[in-house]
A and B are shown apart, each in its own frame.
Chain A
């Protein structure tokens, strides 16, 4: 009932390796099937996201023994040379594997601390593996625990509540002014990478209409096509600024492209409806004096970076609380695991002692010819009672007392002490 984890993530592998070792749903299904068919693992689950590929499993033998086999399997499955893969792979066993998964689902192991998407990805990976029949009692319990950890961390801590990138901070700020953005319009000045990031965030929030204005018409067309927007001719300010609620600017220009007089005229034309301007250009694209205008909110890169930094600090300050939740659930899982293993151990011990009793009685009673059948039966009964007393009482205590199970977590030591290699399996 040991647990093994072999995988790689954004910290251990560059993107070129990560993309080669990632799993599609079909590959995950096939890998799980092969791992069980080859007898490497009894229970399997593949977790594959853009930042990590991990295989969780319950091996038939010791987890330490099966790890090299798993690494070789991954190398063969993805046709990646073992020497390239070996430097990126990490191996975790038992409680370390449990802790790792719980940290992953809590967002503590993510590139962006506390990101929310990972919990959905863990849930989806578990659902998929469960439907395929690849999981068993151990992985079911493990992943249900992981989902509970993720949920608790997100509801009981502030780890995932605040924006962590300039683009998301800008979009969240727009929501502070307008509420939901699904009936709002946005204008994007410039069609570079930063604009693309913001547009992507705006589209995720369901922005109703998107206009793109760029000096190069071709690039504007491209971005507009990509995000289902419309292109506005460069410099047509009066038309362009009349309807949008959010303006995102990231243009390469030495002078501000949005001057105060342009925005002032636009505000008069739009009946002073609130306007949120996100200036992501360096040097700034929007005249700072625009911020003095009524109902105009201007945020530049520095302002947004400062918000991101504040949020990062706030998130980091929540890490100990999230870690506390992880620790609590690791202990809970290990206690459950120990109880299952201990009960199994007691059952194995009982079977062994019954067997020993039979041969012991046979050899010892052979010379005692004077004993009647009734006497022999009485002696056998007494021995049975003694064995039951020796074994049943501890077994019942183990079932009932969590604290005792926690203390006896190294079940293997007990197993080694009482059972031979053959009986252990």
Chain B
């Protein structure tokens, strides 16, 4: 397999991470913009790396755990780039890039598993999986944003500002970014789940409607709706809503790992 695109992706993500860190430390606009540029370049190279890998293995990218992780990393980068451009805020890049890099490297440094590729499931199934992974990526992003919120809030309340606080996004912007990200996740998971049910309905003879994954997905949906509802009102506004967002993501991780691998009979790595 050609390693050009994975190498280019890794380099672009690494450079982007370095530039975002430098932007956070110095506040120079040019470094922030270059960080965004390299992230965009990384996304393009990552897309071709995924495409090449899928063609090489004659299957979809989410066929195995590593492919799913790589696709997750790509969608996380895509969601973050969209969010960054929408909110015009580059200070978060330094915190998100390690996650993108970790998923990309974990996926591309490990060998592919030797399971036989699953049967082609058609466009409905492909959209179901892709939208679900996009939702997980968006929730991961809101998790990172909530962590930054809590850290910055603690520093502001304790009056220990240091050098970084002056560069971080304002608390209210972090809240807005987190809500935007959750909204993207909710819409994706809602459509993705609906498409999943459509697909199951077509193949009801092969798959059961009773899968623990459905319960956990419904729980995730409800928890994030609750987060959106509470984040803008009364007693939960601010740090408490961020803590709820972090808790919600732990359930997502549970759904993505334990439920998929050990409890669900119709979900593997998505």
Contact = CB atoms under 8 A, between A and B. Distances in A.
A295 B238 contact: yes
Interface string A128-155: 0000000000000000000000000001
Contact of A178 (B159, B161, B172): B172
Interface stretch (B2-10, B53-61, B163-171, B219-227): B163-171
B233 A271 contact: yes
B170 A297 contact: no
A419 interface: no
B111 interface: no
B170 A176 contact: yes
B150 to A, nearest CB: 13
Contact of A173 (B156, B172, B235): B156
A272 interface: yes
A179 B159 contact: no
B26 interface: yes
A274 B159 contact: no
B229 interface: no
A176 B159 contact: no
A175 B152 CA distance: 13
B202 interface: no
A288 to B, nearest CB: 12
A307 B172 contact: no
A179 B170 CA distance: 5
A271 B157 contact: no
Given A176-B156, A303-B159, A307-B161, A271 B237 contact: yes
A295 B240 CA distance: 10
Contacts of B152: 176
Contacts of A306: 159
Interface residues of A, number: 26
Interface residues of B, number: 25
Nearest to B173: A179
B118 interface: no
Given A172-B166, A177-B156, A274 B26 contact: no
A274 B171 contact: yes
A245 B22 CA distance: 32
B237 A178 contact: no
A234 interface: no
Contacts of B237: 271-274, 295
Nearest to A174: B170
Contacts of A176: 152, 156, 165-166, 168, 170-171
A274 B170 CA distance: 12
B50 to A, nearest CB: 36
Report which residue of A175, A291, A295, A306 has the largest number of chain B beta carbons within 10 angstroms of its beta carbon: A295
A179 B234 contact: no
Nearest to A307: B161
A360 interface: no
A252 to B, nearest CB: 25
A155 B29 CA distance: 9
Nearest to B238: A295
Interface in A154-173: 155-156, 158, 161-162, 172-173
B27 interface: yes
A274 B238 contact: yes
Contacts of B156: 173, 176-177, 297
B28 interface: yes
Contacts of B30: 155
A285 B163 CA distance: 29
16 contacts: A155-B28, A161-B27, A161-B166, A162-B166, A175-B170, A176-B166, A176-B171, A178-B171, A178-B172, A179-B169, A179-B172, A274-B172, A294-B235, A294-B238, A297-B156, A303-B159
10 pairs of A and B residues whose beta carbons are closest in the complex: A179-B170, A295-B238, A272-B237, A179-B173, A177-B171, A271-B234, A303-B159, A178-B172, A179-B172, A176-B170
Given A177-B156, A303-B159, 19 more contacts: A173-B156, A176-B152, A176-B168, A176-B170, A176-B171, A177-B171, A177-B172, A178-B170, A179-B169, A271-B237, A274-B238, A294-B235, A294-B238, A294-B239, A295-B238, A295-B239, A297-B156, A306-B159, A310-B161
Interface of A: 155-156, 158, 161-162, 172-173, 175-179, 271-274, 291, 294-295, 297, 299, 303, 306-307, 310, 314
